[in-house]
Structures are given as C-alpha cells and as structure tokens.
Structure 1
C-alpha cells in the first residue's frame, strides 16, 4: 500500500478526481525527488547515492535508465559512460571506444550498448563533476553500476526499514536511439515493475521521458503514472512535436494529459531566473497534471544570480529561496541533488509538513 500522501498524488489515475473521493482529507505533500540520488554528496546513480537520499528524507529516488547490449536496464545519466565510470582505465575495453550520434549530438567514448551487464559490472562509478564536487570524487572507484532491479530492491528494503514508502522515478533515456539499435525499453521496464508488484495505478512509481511516443506507447500497456519532461529549448528527439514550447500551450498541455499524469519542466519554465512566476504550474495543474520541475542544486554555479552567496561557484547559495518561489508558483514536487536541503526548503515553504 502507498502512504496517504502518495495515495492523494495518484488518486486521479485510480479514478478519483478529488481528495474527498479518495477518502483523504489532508493536503497533498509536495514531493522531494532525489535527482540521481543524493548526487550532490555521492557519485550519481549509485546505490550509495540512493541510500543517502532515502536517509535524508527523499520521497522518490530517480534512476536514469539506459540499456546494455544484452538488454538489461542500468542506472546511468547517459549511455556514454566515459565520464561516470572508470572504463577508460580498463585496457580490455580499449577497443570498445566509439563515436556515436545521439539525439543529433556526436559523442566519442564508451557506451553501455556495447557492454553486457556482466562486463559493465566490472566497472566502478566516478564523480561526473569533480571540479564542482571534489568531495564526491573521494568515492571514485567504490561503487558499481546498479541495475533497475537493484534500485527497486533498495527502495523496498528501505521502505520496510523506515516505515515510509520510498518510490522510484525512472527516466527512459534516448528510447528512440536504442530502438534504432534493436534495443527495447518497454519490455524490460514493464517486466521489472511487474516483478516488484509495482505495475498498478497506485504504485510508488513515476516513469518519465523527454520523448513522447514511448510514453504514449507505455500508456497503453501500464497504469503506472507517466511524466512528460520538457526543456526550455529544443524538441522531443522522436519528432513527436515541433518544439517543447509548442507542447506547453494550453492545447499542448491538454494533449499531454491524455497520456501522462505529470509534467516535468525545466525549472526556469515555472519561475524565471529573475524570479517571475510564468503561470505554467497553474496552467498545467488546471489541465490535470502534476508539476515536478528540475533540477534544484545548492552550488552557486547552478543558482540564479540573486540566490548566490559569494563568488565561489562551488559554494552553497540560497537554494531554499529558489525552491520557495517554485512552491509558491504551485509545483507539486521537485527534483534536487540535495534531498535534505529540499526537505527543509519544502517544509519551510509550506510551514511544516
């Protein structure tokens, strides 16, 4: 069973349109989603990062998913693992270095689709941003690349230990690229959710994507809530829309609501860097969508100028102020690299949770 707070979030997908119909009278809690785990303090997409995020109070942990050559789903930000693993230090894989074009961008390095799961398990994770997060780099070489099944198992175990439901928020990365290489996301993703017993409308799961057609296809196969990601520029790589901007019109939001339960916008689309509420969160919620912007990070480098403290890009700025503006704009959750700061900011902005 999901918690009362999560039950309210998922009520719409279970046929309930209001909290009263769902039998819940409390206000819905704004969800704190651990972006790649507690990635501000541990190398991203490692079980250590996810476990720390849970310890810090995250409601959901987010594994970005990519595929191995033998069709296993693993948690990496990208299928290019050059910067996030020690693959370059493995002479046995030197001949796997390749050049690929992914979503129109050329990359040279090592790619998960050229490795079996067993081979990938011989690698160890590295900090992706060592200059900004040197503290994380001290953990380089300590953690393996986790599978989706391992992330689910961690969430279930920690749910039992903490007495609160920990959800997962997987992103399907580049599904059309993988499909062109004969690798399918849908079957292994849906199988993993079925195996976990998390293929229900009220499961503690959101599945997200920057592409559209794969979400529409998943909507025909599962009742798990889906989230359409949108960026401040560009368009879905599968060509399903001319631009993300087009998708954010009232007509576009209504179209998203026909296959998804949520919208995951780049944070500046909700509140500009100058602090102006764009009205997107209210329009999306009026269309029946949850609103979970990304990504809130504590370092000055990532913060709007008004929230920076000092000139050091690595220094911690006023993240709570940025989150508070988004809470006031009406978001129902948010992604952060620092879950404990996100929980504090969420609770402060709502006067306690």
Structure 2
C-alpha cells in the first residue's frame, strides 16, 4: 500500500470531485480525508486501483512521514548575532539533525512566508519541527468551526472581496459608476457572513490590505516587503475538523484558540457557551486525548467555562495575555509595575489557571544598557507556580529599528535580526517558558534542538 500526498492541483481536483460525491467501489470519502491524503491499494479482482478509507483521526501513529528541515533562516539569524558565547554555542550546533520539539509552537502555521491557517503553511510548520499546531477558531453562519485569526478578517486573509461572496460581507466593497472602489478602509467580511461551503471555496492569502486602494486588485496587493507572495498560490483554507485530521496525521499536538465573536451573542440561538463547548466537543469527536490539546483564549471567562465543564481539557488551557486584556482600569500596562495589572498572578493561579501565555515583550525587560532580563511580570508568574508559554516570534519585520510592538521596551538591546536569538535565550533560560509561538517555527526548533529542549 502506498501513501500519496497530493499536489495543489490534485487536491483541487479531489475537492471538486468530492463535491459530486466521489465514489470508488461504492465507497464515499469525507472531504477532510480527501483534502489531506489518499490511501491507494490494488483491487484483487481486476487489478485496478481502489481507494481505501483510513481510520481517522490518527492520534497515535503519524500517517505522513516528514523530513524535518531548518532551511536557511536560523543560520542567517545566528550568523547575524553579535559575538557572544551564545552565538558560539548555536554555531556549534549547525551540523545537528533537525527534529520535532513541543517547545516550538506554530503560530497560525508559518505566516512569515505562507498565508496563515492554510494547508501549505501548516505542513511547512511541521516540516520545520514544530510540535504543536494552532488553529484560531471562528464560526460560520451555519454553525461550523473554521480556522481564521478573527471572525472578521476574511477581507484581509482571503480572496473573498474578489468573489461573488463579497456581496454577503457585513460591509461589502462599494464600486462606483466609474469602477472605483470607494470604501477600502471600511470593508469587513466575517466568517459568520457565509456558510462553511462558501468558506471552503475561498483561497487564503497573506494577511494585508491597502486601505487607500481604489480598485479590488490594489486592495488585495499589500503584502509587506519583508514577507512574500511566493507561496500564496494555493491557499487552501481548513475547517477545524480538517485541521484536527491534518495535525494528527502530522503527529502534532493541538492548540485551538477560541476567538472573540464580533457578532452579538447569542447568534441565531448560538450562545457563547455553545461555542465554548463545541470547540472541545470537536476534539472529543475526533478522538484526540485531552493531554494533546491546549485550548487558548484571551477571555478569562472562556477558561472559567472549561475549568467548570471540561476539567480534563482545562488542565492544559492557556490564558493569553497582553495589555489589551490585563491592564488595570485607568492605568497603562507596565510589565514591571503590578499596580498596573488587572489581575495579580496569584489571582489568576487561584482561579484554576495552570498556564499563561503573555506576549513576549511582557516577559522580558532591559537594564537600559542592552542587557535582557526577566520582567517583574515573568518573575511573579514563576513565583506563583504558573507555567508560561509566549507569543509570537518572527512576526516583526527586520529588527534594525528596534522591532516594534513585539519588542516594546527593549529598543536598547535590539538592533539586528540576530538579536531574536538573544530574546529566545532569555525566555527559555531565565524566564523558563515551556514553549514559544513563532511565525517561522524553524527558528525556535533550531534553538530548542541545540539546547536539548523537547
């Protein structure tokens, strides 16, 4: 029996056939299986090929074999580091064989170069050694869960505005009598505007739009110069069920993030609790053990719900934190001043949360002379027995100008791309994080493999 991984064209053909109830020897294949792989065997009666339905989900033995690779980027980053013992140590690992590590969490796949939450990006993240794969979860208007970073980002992350589905958007594109796009800054397309069938007809693209554009093509053509559209040709989007099947076939663990609805809830009778429960039930139905699932949310009430109703899955639940959801009223968040925090770390721990995931800049501070140190926030999290993961490395452009939001307060210590490795080292060795989300997982995998972090 031979396992065949489909090319983009083959996958597209299979999707089309699946919609017409593709049958082989009277056997109907679910779309999630067709979109990921086929098992082909020989029909003993006539020697023809027969499609054999595999058992899903493969939560123990991987179906797709992978050749792990770092590519060139980790070596570029290490070479770009200032001279230091850490640079010497990382250079000494240049001949190591890449391997999978749960310390490397794939943030939306590999969106530094691949459209986020797409098949190709997910597979690329696995090939780079990421052990845990993220799906940001949103819902369609017929109650299906799909992988999108926000309920209202279809206009920036897919080709919807260039399709007839644009008319169904909450704020559709407006084209005047002269053929000019007149509302580029206001367009909004939500997963809840369309059905799951509509969603599956879309193509993912790099997350960016030109809000000053006067045409649809110019609106969509806005990828940052330090990213690329080289791998944007396929852009296959996935439902949560398909994502689970793919991650399991790649022998990866799962970290779904429940995204905040932008519609008024209940939505057509669908409540927040329905949404929270459906996410967990989807993993249960797929047979994925709770130990392999790390449900996330920026909403502490979502974590409360899972603690009360799904304690097994809540054990690994991750409370995501940045200044948007953990700033005290009337304050500006300061990672070194507990009076500016909405909740103390002791309160969060007492609530039953085991793991927090602050943005990386909340965990690292600088002494003002270029030395990176754990922040007060990081030290108090450790003191209160909280496990820590963090997000998201490789999300900024070149770091020669300080790195922007993801490196807030670290400008004196950040002046070249190689400094990413110094940040990773402080997070791993001094803060003691259990894993790092990255838009390019190979960077984290290289460091983790070199340091023996599994």
TM-score by length of 1: 0.76
Give the deviation of 1:339 after TM superposition.
0.7
Which residue, out of 414, 418, 422, partners 1:307? 414
Secondary structure of residue in 2 paired with 1:59 = strand
Q: Secondary structure at the match of 1:343?
A: helix
Q: CA deviation at 1:2?
A: 8.0
Q: Is the 8 A contact 1:235 1:243 kept in 2?
A: no
- Mean alpha-carbon deviation: is it higher for 246-255 or for 85-94? 246-255
Alignment of 1:275-294 (within 5 A): 275-294=372-391
- 1:170-228 per-position Cα deviation (integer Å, ceiling 9, x unaligned): 1111058563434342232122111122253xx21101100011211111222112111
Structure number with larger C-alpha Rg: 2
- What's the RMSD between the two structures over aligned residues? 3.0
Q: What is aligned with 1:143? A: 235
1:343 to 421, 424, 445: 445
Match of 1:215 among 287, 303, 312: 303
Q: TM-score, normalised by structure 2?
A: 0.60
Runs of 4+ in 1 over 4 A off after TM superposition: 175-178, 242-245
Return the alpha-carbon distance in structure 2 between the equivalents of residues 220 and 270 of structure 1.
29
- Structure 2 segments unaligned to the other structure (5+ residues): 1-58, 62-100, 173-184, 209-222, 334-339
- The number of residue pairs the alignment matches comes to 301
For residues 35 and 343 of structure 1, the distance between their equivalents in structure 2, rounded to whole angstroms, comes to 13
Conserved in 2, the CA contact under 8 Å of 1:294 and 1:335?
yes
| Structure 1 Cα separation of the partners of residues 186 and 365 of structure 2 | 31
State whether structure 2 residue 196 is matched by structure 1 residue 117. yes
Structure-2 residue corresponding to 1:12: none
Q: What is the CA distance between 1:259 and its match in structure 2?
A: 2.9
Q: CA deviation at 1:95?
A: 4.3
Q: Which runs of 5+ in 1 are unaligned?
A: 4-28, 100-105, 160-165, 310-315
Distance change (3 Å), C-alpha of 1:121 and 1:243: farther
What does residue 162 of structure 1 align with? none
User: Please, which of 125, 133, 136 is the counterpart of residue 53 of structure 1?
Assistant: 125
Question: Aligned in 2, Cα 1:138/1:188: closer, same or farther, shift over 3 Å?
Answer: same
8 Å contact from structure 2 (residues 296, 319) kept in 1? yes
- Once residues 248 and 285 of structure 1 are traced to their aligned partners in structure 2, the CA distance between those partners, rounded to angstroms, is 15
Q: Which residue among 248, 257, 261 is the counterpart of 2:354?
A: 261
Q: Is the 8 A contact 1:126 1:139 kept in 2?
A: no
Deviations 1:96-145 (A, max 9, x none): 2429xxxxxx964111101100011111000015114442x233351222
CA distances 1:154-179 after superposition (whole Å, capped 9, x unpaired)? 111111xxxxxx11111111058563
Distance of aligned partners of 1:107 and 1:76 in 2 relative to their CA distance in 1, 3 Å threshold: farther
User: Equivalents in 2 of 1:236, 1:284: separation in Å?
Assistant: 14
How far apart, CA to CA, are the structure 2 residues paired with 1:134 and 1:300?
10
Residue by residue, what CA displacement relative to the aligned partner does 1:283-320 show, whole Å, maximum 9, x if unpaired? 323333210111111642546443333xxxxxx44321
